[in-house]
Amino acid sequence: LLVCIVGGFFFFKMRKVLNLQRVNSVDLEETLKLGISPQVKNNEKMKGYKNIALFGVDSRSGDLLEGDNRSDSMMVCSIHEETGEIRLVSVYRDTILEVGDGYYTKANSAYALGGPAQAINMLNQNFDLNIVDFVTVGFEGLAHTIDALGGIEIQIDEEEREYLNQYVHDMHLELGTEDTPVEESGTVLMNGIQATAYSRIRYTAGDDFKRAERQRTVLQKTLDKARESGPTALVAVANNVVGDMATSLSTAELLNLIMKASNLELAGTGGLPQEEYRGFGSTYEDGEFILPLDLEENICWLHSFLFGEENYIISEEAAERNEYIRNNFQPYY
């Protein structure tokens, strides 16, 4: 009875605070299921996992679901529902993929072309996934989350500090946030704006690959802080982020994740395309891009990493996309 009372209290609190931008989750799920290959739908190895697409967007209008919002970051978050293990995989935004209707261009275009539904379909169809849920957060939403948790500690070098402070200043000019530069390199307790600025750095060695790694680091540190917090504190966090977050998850699903937060553990992170299976190219339309030299190898790695599925055989649809990329995009190195 006590558990029911406590659960009911938090559900009531969550219903009051979680006034998020939403899509109709039922309609979205039905739309997305049409884009999932029959082979993936029947794959027993993928059962027991909650797969969620995470998008970070630079939305100046405040509308996270529509408008010209290219996804600045894009990740697949896979949660093992029995163990609570989480695995995060970044999809590098400049990767050439089919983004819809046979159109091949940089992956981050999908969100701008058709919002979260088109971006999720792109992930499902290019990588043999079965995602039907998403969370989209703007820069301010990430910053508010980190501030509500008391900040996160990140180690930076002097080059990163200089770029970080430039992004802090840029966000001050663009969004009216506080201009709070980091004074020294080393291990720094960062506030939300500083940590968000850190996650945006791309002009150091490693370029976009290093930036995606920084983004995963920020998420890992944020998750670690969330695990240390109780449900009441996490409700306060939710209250801080709702103005700059959109999701397909229901209040009950969000409550369930909050109640389980202390049991969630980040078991591994990675990025796509994998280093050994990627190259670089350039066209007049797309400029410089990242090329999945072998989409099949990348898909097989992903299924092994997320679901422990060895010797995965990709779907016919994914094989066709792999062949198209091989025949129509040539790496220059």
What is the structure's pLDDT at 81? 93
What local confidence, expressed as pLDDT, does residue 52 receive? 96
Ranges in the chain, pLDDT < 70:
1-27, 59-62, 66-70, 242, 333
pLDDT of residue 179: 93
CATH for 28-134+243-328?
Answer: 3.30.420.590
What lies within 8 Å, CB to CB, of 157 at 6+ separation is 185
Return the pLDDT at 264. 87
Largest CA distance in the chain: 65
Report phi then psi at 20, rounded to 5: -90, 160
Specify the pLDDT at position 124. 97
Q: What is the pLDDT of residues 260-289, one digit of tens each?
A: 877 888 999 999 999 998 989 887 777 888
Residue 291 neighbours by CB distance under 10 Å: 22
Q: Would you state the pLDDT for residue 102?
A: 95
134-154: per-residue pLDDT in tens?
999 888 888 988 998 999 999
Beta-carbon count within 10 A of 35 CB: 20
Given this model, what pLDDT does residue 308 score?
96
Domain boundaries, the chain: 28-134+243-328
Nearest of 72, 77, 53, 68 to residue 114 by alpha carbon: 68
Q: Which residues contact 186 (CB under 8 A, 6 or more apart)?
A: 155, 156
